[in-house]
Amino acid sequence: MKKASMISIGAYVPKEILTNSDLEKMVDTNDEWIAQRTGIKTRHIAKNESTSDLGYQASKIAIKRAGLKNEDIDCIICATISPDHLCMPSTACKISNLLGIKNITAFDISAACTGFIYLLELAKSLIESGVKKNILIIGTEKLSSIVNWKDRTTCILFGDGAGAAVISARDDNSILDVHTASDGEYADLLTTPGCGSIHPATHEMVDQNLQFIHMKGNEVFKVAVNTLTKDVIDILEKNEISPKEIDLFIPHQANLRIINSVKQKLKLTDEQCIVTVQKYGNTSSASIPMAINDAYESGRLKKGDLMLLDAFGGGFTWGSALLKFGGI
Ligand code: UT7
């Protein structure tokens, strides 16, 4: 039986950079606080580009690096919490149109910052069951469009960007295992309360800023550290892989302190760990594919390398993945 393999990666960030000192002029914050508490120094902000525009740029790179033509893609799945449109059409359909691909399966999923791990599980299942051959998975976000730029507790955290990968049927370098999970009990700790069926679009809803991201940061932090640590230990034990065997640990890039905590628990070295949060901030579903792309473009990720991924986000959702890189 053929296995699902990540045969390429691509990413894109909009040109404009917002620094911590820029934010000092917008809200009551400072570079020292942001850097110490989060590790973030800069983030990219999209002005005239939409979420699908960002995803399209990343997708073009991923398809080219896979050595495929656009028409070889038979499924597009996009993870995003900042879609072009709230309900329809899906951002995947918009990207499909930009790529000039018609008559294929295209849909979005909503799993917040864990979106890319959920995409890997879906793509693995669809490939290994023989339903699809070449799946384009995309994490793309224009979080600047759902951030309250007057709320210092959230606006310093997020950035815009996109990452995409092609998952295809191969004999080796496969996605070894994916674990995904959720707990809706924590829904209110990280949420965009407005614009849905509970708080439809009204002037009153907008006056209360319910359309923006609301987060109880320190409560999310505690659950994230404990949950991620357990999740990565579990997936390594289940697959009888020791942390030393991991070539690259590529975690969701929300907070350097969360990344370092998991890294220390696993006794991973700096060489094993990919960190991009300092330059991109938290780009939710895009953060892992953007970080994989950084590792690829800097020459740290090579064909056959074993990656450990982990992510945690709104829902709550979380997950981890073990995969060998199948790209060249
Ligand atoms: O990606 C999805 C999952 N998300 C996460 O994993 C994010 C998890 N949470 C975090 O990364 C951290 O909780 C934050 C970076 C959001 C916040 O860091 P913290 O160490 O948990 O700070 P805190 O919320 O406990 O706030 C500490 C203090 C407060 O002041 P008081 O009450 O101690 O006087 C805040 O008002 O820092 C204050 N504060 C700020 N000060 C300067 C909050 N935001 C800022 C700010 N600048 N931007």
pLDDT in tens, 207-247: 999 999 999 999 999 999 999 999 999 999 999 999 999 99
Distance from the CA of 217 to the center of ligand 1, in angstroms? 6
pLDDT at site 188: 97
pLDDT at site 142: 98
C-alpha dist (Å) from residue 29 to 21, 22, 258, 261: 9, 10, 21, 25
Tokens representing 191? 């949420």
Residue 153 alpha carbon, nearest atom of ligand 1: 44
pLDDT at site 1: 80
Phi, psi of 245 (to 5 degrees): -80, -10
Beta strand pairing status for 42-44 and 75-79?
unpaired
Ligand 1 pocket check: which of 28, 153, 222, 231 to mutate, most ligand atoms within 8 Å of Cβ?
A: 153
Distance from the CA of 33 to the center of ligand 1, in angstroms? 9
Ligand 1 pocket check: which of 110, 218, 231 to mutate, most ligand atoms within 8 Å of Cβ?
A: 218
Closest C-alpha to 138, from 118, 152, 168: 118
pLDDT at site 80: 98
Q: Does domain 177-324 have CATH number 3.40.47.10?
A: yes
152 C-beta closer than 6 A to ligand 1: yes
> Residues 75, 78, 93, 113: which is the catalytic one?
113
Listed by start position, the domains of the chain span 3-172, 177-324
Other CB atoms within 10 A of residue 209 CB: 14
Active site residue 75: no
3-172 with 177-324: one CATH topology? Answer: yes
Active site residue 179: no
251 CB-near residues (< 8 Å, 6+ apart): 228, 258, 259, 262, 273, 274, 288, 291, 309, 310, 311
193 C-beta closer than 6 A to ligand 1: no
Q: What is the CATH number of domain 3-172?
A: 3.40.47.10
CB 112 within 8 A of CB 190: yes
Taking each helix axis from N to C terminus, what angle separates 51-65 and 91-98, rounded to the nearest 10 degrees? 60
The residue nearest atom 38 of ligand 1, judged by CA position, is 153
113 C-beta closer than 6 A to ligand 1: yes
158 C-beta closer than 6 A to ligand 1: no
Distance from the CA of 108 to the center of ligand 1, in angstroms? 30
261 C-beta closer than 6 A to ligand 1: no
119 C-beta closer than 6 A to ligand 1: no
> Residues 252, 255, 273, 293: which is the catalytic one?
252
Find the farthest-apart pair of alpha carbons in the chain and give their distance in angstroms, rounded.
57
Active site residue 252: yes
Distance from the CA of 198 to the center of ligand 1, in angstroms? 27
42 C-beta closer than 6 A to ligand 1: no
pLDDT tens for residues 248-298?
999 999 999 999 999 999 999 999 999 999 999 999 999 999 999 999 999
38 C-beta closer than 6 A to ligand 1: yes
The residue nearest atom 2 of ligand 1, judged by CA position, is 313
CA torsion sign for 214, 191, 221, 283 is negative
Distance from the CA of 25 to the center of ligand 1, in angstroms? 18
Residue 254 alpha carbon, nearest atom of ligand 1: 1
Q: Which residues of the chain fall short of a pLDDT of 70? A: none
